[in-house]
Amino acid sequence: MLRLTLITTLLLTFGVGTGYAADEVKEPNKQQNKMAECNKAAVDKKGDERKSFMRECLKSKQKIQQNKMKECNAEAGTKELKGPERKQFMSECLKK
């Protein structure tokens, strides 16, 4: 019993407890956002129809992102942006 109390005290002292993971809430990434959007659109679909829909939905969003990247890249090239200026421009352009 004494060992258990000692171990528990040490774990809590060094921040390893049940509440530790709750402190690290992360924002969803782009892929997770795409999945959420496609999931909302597929709410009425079941089985193979849902799988097929999800596959196409995720592919189309990827193609849209690729096309946006090409457009932004071309525009940055036309403006002859380099280094940090190009990086900032690309970041803003891809958010639109």
Amino acid at 35: M
Domain locations in the chain?
29-95
Query: What integer pLDDT is reported at residue 48 of this predicted model?
Result: 96
User: Which pLDDT value is given to residue 24?
Assistant: 66
pLDDT tens sequence across 27-81: 878 778 888 888 888 889 999 999 999 998 888 877 888 888 999 999 999 999 9
Q: For residue 58, what are the contacts with CB-CB under 8 A and spacing of at least 6?
A: 34, 35, 38
pLDDT at 35: 87
Write down the pLDDT at residue 71. Answer: 93
Instruction: Give me the pLDDT at residue 73, please.
Output: 93
